Amino acid sequence: MWNSVRLGGFLVVGVMCVAAASAQTQQPAAQQGTPATQAGAATQAAGQISLDVEVAEKSGEPVGDLQEQDFTLLDNDLPQKITSFQVVNGREAPIEVILVIDAVNAPFRNVGYERVQMEKFLRDEEGNLAYPMAVTVFSDQGIQIVGGFVSDGNALSAALDKTNIGLRDMGAAAGYYGAAERLQKSLGALQLLVSSAAKRPGRKLIIWVSPGWPLLSGVRTTLDTKQEQQVFANIVSLSTELLRGRITIYSIDPVGPNGSVNADWDYGYYLKAVTKPGQVHFGNLGLPVLAVQSGGVAFSFTNGIADRLHKCVADVAPYYEISFDPPPAKSRDEYHHLEIKLAKPGLTARTRQGYYAQP
């Protein structure tokens, strides 16, 4: 039994659809996850692709005074013509932020600290938030929206203070079965948030405060061919929805590299893009992996969660909206690697790492 992950349709049906539909929320439930065969038909690969690009100096200071000629956009190492270019500066940027407290994957004592730090962040600068924000709590009951898309941090903090998160019961079973339950619910909650946020206009940030969910990856965990295809289909679908919804994920590990529930794995091993089903691992769906691949950052807890939250928000503007017409794909779910090169030395550009194109 331990030589194979007996999930069958568990990941596709259980994680992306059933878990998302059963997640508790005060808002109308989002639509269920889309299979890759349908997501492929809806991908932007058939039309224009828009990227949100952040540029920074070596010190980390954002740069917002570049021109179109300073950028070279590569798709599978081939230069592409930029069809539209815009610099977006300041707090007037069309950005919304979703803050997530993860009470499922972090120990209860850490959840309490997360809560205090998030309230501190919300009340900084007299509660004047840089962008409209929503606060959500991921608990055994699913996703609960505490307050939604307002610029009054004091009001959000007061609402969070009145929220009873409670103790975690999910994953009480030891070993594999408890981990599988948390993985299922975590990916379902993420899919629900992404599907809901994708319907809103403009750019969205999901900042998930969590050590990450169990990965079920290792030498004793194998997938058969059907399961590999199902996991790959979910990767394609989630990547496509993040792209179309202009959603960037940031993760903040509240435990830190020495105490994280995933301290025994190096997520960098899973950052390389999956181009076919035979390459998949559950690690490819890890929270920090999804964050980096979407163009965000995976932070470890070093200077306090409130400081990291400020860093995430300050990191997103100024930024550049760059669009291009992607080259035609030769096969279904064909992965295209993206890269931004800059003419000026000493600067780094960050955007999503790639997309899945369709013929």
Closest CA to 280 of 338, 221, 232: 232
How far, in Å, CA of 97 to CA of 191, rounded?
A: 16
Entry pTM? 0.85
Record: fold of 47-89+318-357: Immunoglobulin-like (2.60.40)
pLDDT at 329: 94
- pLDDT, tens digit, for every residue of 182-234? 888 999 999 999 999 999 999 999 999 998 988 876 655 678 899 999 999 99
pLDDT at 179: 83
3-state secondary structure the chain: CCCCCCCCCHHHHHHHHHHHHHCCCCCCCCCCCCCHHHHHHHCHHHCCEEEEEEEEECCCCECCCCCHHHEEEEECCEEECEEEEEEECCCCCCEEEEEEEECCCCCHHHHHHHHHHHHHHHHHHHHEEEEEEEEEEEECCEEEEEEEEEEEHHHHHHHHHCCCCCCCCCCCCCHHHHHHHHHHHHHHHHHHHHHHHHCCCCEEEEEEECCCCCCCCCCCCCCCHHHHHHHHHHHHHHHHHHHHCCEEEEEEECCCCCCCCCCCCCHHHHCCCCCCHHHCCHHHHCHHHHHHHCCCCEEECCCCHHHHHHHHHHHCCCEEEEEECCCCCCCCCEEEEEEEEECCCCEEEECCCEEEECC
Give every strand in the sheet of 334-342, ordered side by side. 78-80, 71-75, 334-342, 354-357
pLDDT digits (tens, 9 = 90+) for 305-350: 999 999 999 988 999 999 999 999 999 999 999 999 999 999 999 9
- The reported pLDDT for the residue numbered 173 is 52
pLDDT digits (tens, 9 = 90+) for 79-116: 999 999 999 987 778 899 999 999 998 888 888 888 99
- The pLDDT of residue 284 is 92
Start-end of CATH 3.40.50 domains in the chain: 10-32+91-315
Does domain 10-32+91-315 fall under CATH 1.10.10? My reply is no
CATH 2.60.40 range(s) for the chain read 47-89+318-357
Residue 36 binned pLDDT confidence (cut-offs 50, 70, 90): very low
- Label residue 358 by pLDDT band (50, 70, 90): very high
pLDDT at 255: 72
